[in-house]
Structure 1
Amino acid sequence: YQTILDITGLSWLIEKVSGVQVALSLGLLNSYTGLIMPLIATATGTFLYRQFFLTVPDELTEAARMDGAGALRFFIDILLPSSRNNMAALGTIMFLWAWNQYLWPLLITTDASHATAVTELKQLIPNVGGIPEWNIAMAGTLIVMLPPLVVVVAMQRWFVR
Structure 2
Amino acid sequence: MIERNRLLDWLSHGVLWIGLCLIVFPLYIALVASTHTAQTLAQSPLPIWPGDQGWANYRAILGGDGSGFAAQLPVARMLSVSLVMALLISVGKIVISLLSAFAIVYFRFRLRLLCFWAIFVTLMLPVEVRIVPTYQVIADFGLINSYAGLTVPLIASATATFLFRQFFLTVPDELVEAAKVDGASPLRFLWDILLPLSRTSIAALFVIQFIYGWNQYLWPLLVSTDESMYPIVMGIKRMISGGDARIEWNLVMATAMLAMLPPAAVVILMQKWFVKGLVDSEK
> TM-score scaled to structure 1, two decimals?
0.82
Percent identity of the aligned residues? 55
Match of 1:101 among 216, 230, 235: 216
Structure 1 portions without partners, runs of 5+ = 1-9
8 Å contact 2:232–2:259 — kept in the other structure? yes
2:151 alignment counterpart: 36
Q: In structure 2, how many angstroms separate the alpha carbons of the residues matched to 1:159 and 1:13?
A: 29
The letter of the residue matching 1:78 is I
If asked which structure has higher relative contact order (CA below 8 Å, sep 6+), I would say 2
Cα separation, partners in 2 of 1:48 and 1:103, compared to 1, 3 Å: same
Render the CA deviation track for 1:17-38: whole Å, top value 9, x for unaligned. Answer: 1211111111111111100112
Q: In structure 2, how many angstroms separate the alpha carbons of the residues matched to 1:20 and 1:70?
A: 39
Q: In structure 2, how many angstroms separate the alpha carbons of the residues matched to 1:59 and 1:11?
A: 39
Question: What count of residue pairs does the alignment treat as equivalent?
Answer: 152
* 1:89 lines up with 2:89 in the alignment: no
RMSD: 2.2
The letter of the residue matching 1:35 is L
8 Å contact 1:40–1:94 — kept in the other structure? no
Alignment of 1:1-150 (within 5 A): 12-130=127-245, 132-150=247-265
The letter of the residue matching 2:143 is L
1:5 alignment counterpart: none
Q: CA deviation at 1:133?
A: 3.0
Larger Rg belongs to: 2
- Which secondary structure state, in structure 2, belongs to the residue aligned with residue 56 of structure 1? coil
Q: In structure 2, how many angstroms separate the alpha carbons of the residues matched to 1:135 and 1:100?
A: 21
The letter of the residue matching 1:137 is V
8 Å contact 2:145–2:225 — kept in the other structure? yes
> TM-score scaled to structure 2, two decimals?
0.49
Q: In structure 1, how many angstroms separate the alpha carbons of the residues matched to 2:170 and 2:143?
A: 38
Q: In structure 1, how many angstroms separate the alpha carbons of the residues matched to 2:224 and 2:186?
A: 42
Q: CA deviation at 1:56?
A: 0.9
8 Å contact 1:105–1:116 — kept in the other structure? yes
Q: In structure 1, how many angstroms separate the alpha carbons of the residues matched to 2:176 and 2:213?
A: 35
Render the CA deviation track for 1:4-57: whole Å, top value 9, x for unaligned. Answer: xxxxxx965331112111111111111111001122222233222112211212
Q: CA deviation at 1:66?
A: 3.7
